[in-house]
């Protein structure tokens, strides 16, 4: 699939000259700093989650990126170092399914010395194999997606006939390797797994892990999103609270995407990610680097900035840093705050490509 990207060069970004980044605090047009970098390491996946990579679109004929088109580990590491120099404190490896990228622990090992909080989001299907190596390589934290504990529901949602038990084994392997607590992401879709909210809460409370409910989002252009399918986080919290009383707790840091709630009986916490019903754009400090080296300033972006051409064209670190800074300074994204039925229908970059 081709994606609209704007060239960036030493001389121009968005038609304006690129000023030298002077080392001062970097902020976008709404005063937001750049703190979090999400790196998509592959656009491929072994699942076909209906809300992310529907099989009708991502079928046998779908053209995934060729190997030469995707950033090498050396290129990713060089860029990540420049991002850290610009203020990034947290790096998340994602995709697609990041553990499909060959030798991923080697990339982790290359990134670890940068000193950022290094995290990974995975569908968990191959964690049994990789968890220990990821820990050894210096990964700090893992998030595993698991949308249902019910076999039929989960197999239908991943549309790859993948069993629940193997993901649970992956979560256990991550915990054994030292990644406890693991964060568990559950995308909630009305009429699909919406009736399983309390079951999931019951299963994960007191486990030492943290379950987070994510509102079904209108990412990309292929998942058939409708507002009617979204279960607002307020309803999720109300339903859980009726079974297991909850109380709110403070965010760990500014810009944290999940709202946090604690079980009053001391059985741990749950999170809700309300990107549709309670947008959190005003604190959004996330930059995204796509698998083929384009920059995206919002998950719902319609276009990116071609960093790879600059990188492969021989630009030095200063030039790359100035261009990244210029893209961030020009950023005014607040898609979720302005979402309407019309914007939801506009073509957007797919989440598997841009990185979730
Ligand atoms: N393959 C990995 C995984 O599933 O964890 C990493 C990439 S995936 C795109 C990252 C996260 O985005 C997952 O937790 C997934 O459930 C979530 N996601 C994907 N499509 C979504 C959608 N339409 N609405 C809400 N969350 C979505
Ligand atoms: Fe793959 Fe993750 Fe998207 Fe599911 S959510 S299709 S596991 S990239
Ligand atoms: Fe950030 Fe865009 Fe999501 Fe708003 S919609 S929180 S700007 S990624």
Cis peptide bond prior to 301, omega within 30° of 0: no
What is the CA(38)–ligand 1 centre distance, in A? 13
Q: Measured between alpha carbons, how far is 155 from 113 in angstroms, rounded to an integer?
A: 39
Cα 261 to chain centroid, rounded: 21
User: Given this model, what pLDDT does residue 122 score?
Assistant: 98
In order along its 356 residues, the chain shows pLDDT tens digits of 557 788 876 545 555 667 777 777 899 999 999 999 999 999 999 999 999 999 999 999 999 999 999 999 999 999 999 999 999 999 999 999 999 999 999 999 999 999 999 999 999 999 999 999 999 999 999 999 999 999 999 999 999 999 999 999 999 999 999 999 999 999 999 999 999 999 999 999 999 999 999 999 988 888 889 999 999 999 999 999 999 999 999 988 877 888 999 999 999 999 999 999 998 899 999 999 999 999 999 999 989 999 999 999 999 999 999 999 999 999 999 989 988 888 888 888 888 888 77
- Choose the residue to mutate in 124, 214, 225, 336 for probing ligand 1, maximizing ligand atoms within 8 Å of C-beta: 214
Q: Hey, whose CA ends up nearest to atom 10 of ligand 1?
A: 356
- Is 336's C-beta closer than 6 angstroms to any atom of ligand 1? no
Tokens 């980044």, located at residue: 21
- Is 78's C-beta closer than 6 angstroms to any atom of ligand 3? no
Ligand with the closest atom to the CA of 148? 1
Ligand with the closest atom to the CA of 142? 1
- Choose the residue to mutate in 302, 304, 336 for probing ligand 3, maximizing ligand atoms within 8 Å of C-beta: 336
- Is 187's C-beta closer than 6 angstroms to any atom of ligand 1? yes
The tokens of 355 are what?
């990185």
Ligand with the closest atom to the CA of 279? 3
DSSP-assigned letter for residue 176:
I
| Short-list 138, 141, 105, 136, CA closest to 120 | 141
Q: Measured between alpha carbons, how far is 207 from 218 in angstroms, rounded to an integer?
A: 31
Mention every residue, 6+ apart, whose C-beta is less than 8 A from residue 143: 119, 120, 121, 122, 182, 183, 184, 185
What is the CA(165)–ligand 3 centre distance, in A? 33
Helices (H) and strands (E) in the chain, counts: 11, 15
Say if CB 108 and CB 139 are below 8 A apart. Answer: yes
Is residue 266 packed enough to be buried (19+ CB in 10 Å), middle (13-18) or exposed (0-12)? exposed
DSSP-assigned letter for residue 178:
I
Superfamily of domain 4-354: Aldolase class I (3.20.20.70)
Q: Hey, whose CA ends up nearest to atom 17 of ligand 1?
A: 356
Mention every residue, 6+ apart, whose C-beta is less than 8 A from residue 47: 53, 97, 123, 125, 158, 159, 160, 162
Mention every residue, 6+ apart, whose C-beta is less than 8 A from residue 140: 117, 118, 119
Say if CB 109 and CB 78 are below 8 A apart. Answer: no
User: Given this model, what pLDDT does residue 13 score?
Assistant: 57
- Is 53's C-beta closer than 6 angstroms to any atom of ligand 2? yes
User: Given this model, what pLDDT does residue 186 score?
Assistant: 98
């Amino acid at each position: 699939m081709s994606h609209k990207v704007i060239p960036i060069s030493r001389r121009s970004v968005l038609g304006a000259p690129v000023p030298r980044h002077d080392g001062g605090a970097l902020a976008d047009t709404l005063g937001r700093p750049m703190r979090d970098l999400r790196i998509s390491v592959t656009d491929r996946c072994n699942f076909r989650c209906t809300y992310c990579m529907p099989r009708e679109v991502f079928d046998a004929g779908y053209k995934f990126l060729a190997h030469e088109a995707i950033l090498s580990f050396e290129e990713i590491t060089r860029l990540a170092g420049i991002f850290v120099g610009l203020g990034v404190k947290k790096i998340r490896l994602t995709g697609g399914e990041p553990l499909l990228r060959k030798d991923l622990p080697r990339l982790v090992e290359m990134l670890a010395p940068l000193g950022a909080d290094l995290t990974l989001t995975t569908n968990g299907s191959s964690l049994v194999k990789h968890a220990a190596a990821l820990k050894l390589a210096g990964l700090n934290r893992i998030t595993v997606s698991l949308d249902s504990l019910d076999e039929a529901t989960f197999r239908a949602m991943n549309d790859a006939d993948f069993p629940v038990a193997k993901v649970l084994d992956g979560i256990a392997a991550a915990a054994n390797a030292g990644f406890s607590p693991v964060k568990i992401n559950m995308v909630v879709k009305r009429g699909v797994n919406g009736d399983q909210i309390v079951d999931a809460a019951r299963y994960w409370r007191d486990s030492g892990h943290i379950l987070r409910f994510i509102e079904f989002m209108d990412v990309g252009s292929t998942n058939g999103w409708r507002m009617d399918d979204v279960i607002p986080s307020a309803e999720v919290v109300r339903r859980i609270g009726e079974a297991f009383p909850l109380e709110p707790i403070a965010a760990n840091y500014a810009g944290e995407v999940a709202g946090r709630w604690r079980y009053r009986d001391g059985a741990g916490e749950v999170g809700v990610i309300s990107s549709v019903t309670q947008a959190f754009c005003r604190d959004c400090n996330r930059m995204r680097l796509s698998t083929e080296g384009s920059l995206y300033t919002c998950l719902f972006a319609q276009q990116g900035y071609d960093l790879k051409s600059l990188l492969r064209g021989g630009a030095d670190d200063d030039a790359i840093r100035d261009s990244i800074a210029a893209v961030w300074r020009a950023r005014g994204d607040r898609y979720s705050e302005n979402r309407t039925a019309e914007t939801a229908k506009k073509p957007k970059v797919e989440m598997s490509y841009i990185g979730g």
